[in-house]
């Protein structure tokens, strides 16, 4: 029995890190597909793209800056600063920002933007689903989260009793406000289209679906730090 107690946590820990790596790859590709297609990105990504077109920072720097701001919001929502959580959020944001930039450049050179509109819509929706699947995976591993998804996770399990759909709608309020501001200044909306509408209304539902139907042996870990005291 003593051996089992020592071995199982190590196996569990390795499984969570492997799933985290898989989700980071899926997430970066999904976001890059939606950015390149320009038929609607995930709502947070769309807000960052609109900021990127408004100021001189690169897309990578814009994504990282937005992540830092959300880290602050998360600390306010859980009413404490958990430094390992803050650092893990930033640790996720840095490679995530680089990977999106890298995959975006790679996909742009592939010529997919020249495909018929119908196929580009399919690719964009596929990217949206990739983001939802990746979010489901790394929210369950709960080792290192992007600040935006940690934000959604906090709302979901601390404020709306685990309802992914409601939590996702609430957590989209800040990026929608950002896009309203950038549109009022620049007069144009980037990366906002059919994919964004799907994200806005159905992303939480997709995440909840993947929670229940994909990688069923992966449970939600570490909810004790975000559930209501």
Domain assignments of the chain as residue spans, ordered by start: 13-225
Q: Say which DSSP state 57 is in.
A: S
* Average pLDDT, 10 consecutive residues per value, the chain (229 residues): 43 84 91 86 83 86 86 90 83 81 90 91 92 89 81 88 85 91 90 84 88 87 60
CA distance 49 to 41: 9
Q: What value, to the nearest 5°, has the Cα angle with vertex 227 and ends 225 and 229? A: 90
Residue 44: half-sphere exposure toward Cβ, Cα within 13 Å = 27
CB 207 within 8 A of CB 74: no
Contacts of 63 (CB under 8 A, 6+ apart): 45, 48, 93, 96, 97, 100
Report the pLDDT value the prediction gives residue 5, as an integer from 0 to 100.
41
Report the pLDDT value the prediction gives residue 183, as an integer from 0 to 100.
94
How many other C-beta atoms are found inside a 10 Å radius of the C-beta of residue 216?
A: 8
CA distance 30 to 25: 9
CA distance 187 to 119: 28
Report the pLDDT value the prediction gives residue 6, as an integer from 0 to 100.
38
CA 18 to chain centre: 18
Report the pLDDT value the prediction gives residue 227, as an integer from 0 to 100.
55
CB 140 within 8 A of CB 22: no
In sequence order, what E strands does the chain have? Answer: none
Report the pLDDT value the prediction gives residue 150, as an integer from 0 to 100.
84
CA dihedral (180, 184, 190, 192) positive or negative: positive
């Amino acid at each position: 029995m003593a051996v089992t107690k020592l071995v199982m946590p190590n196996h569990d820990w390795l499984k969570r890190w492997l799933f985290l790596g898989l989700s980071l790859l899926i997430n970066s590709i999904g976001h890059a597909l939606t950015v390149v297609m320009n038929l609607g990105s995930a709502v947070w990504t769309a807000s960052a793209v609109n900021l990127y077109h408004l100021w001189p920072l690169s897309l990578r720097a814009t994504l990282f800056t937005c992540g830092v701001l959300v880290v602050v919001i998360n600390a306010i929502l859980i009413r404490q600063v958990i430094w390992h959580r803050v650092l893990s959020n930033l640790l996720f944001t840095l490679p995530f920002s680089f990977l999106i930039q890298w995959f975006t450049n790679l996909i742009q050179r592939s010529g997919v933007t020249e495909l018929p509109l119908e196929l580009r819509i399919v690719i964009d929706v596929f990217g949206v689903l990739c983001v939802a699947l990746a979010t489901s995976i790394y929210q369950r591993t709960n080792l290192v989260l992007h600040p935006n998804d940690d934000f959604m996770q906090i709302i979901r399990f601390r404020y709306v009793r685990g309802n992914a759909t409601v939590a996702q709608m609430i957590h989209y309020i800040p990026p929608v406000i950002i896009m309203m501001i950038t549109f009022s200044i620049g007069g144009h909306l980037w990366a906002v289209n059919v994919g964004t509408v799907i994200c806005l209304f159905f992303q939480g539902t997709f995440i909840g679906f993947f929670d229940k139907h994909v990688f069923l042996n992966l449970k939600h870990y570490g909810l004790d730090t975000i559930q209501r005291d």
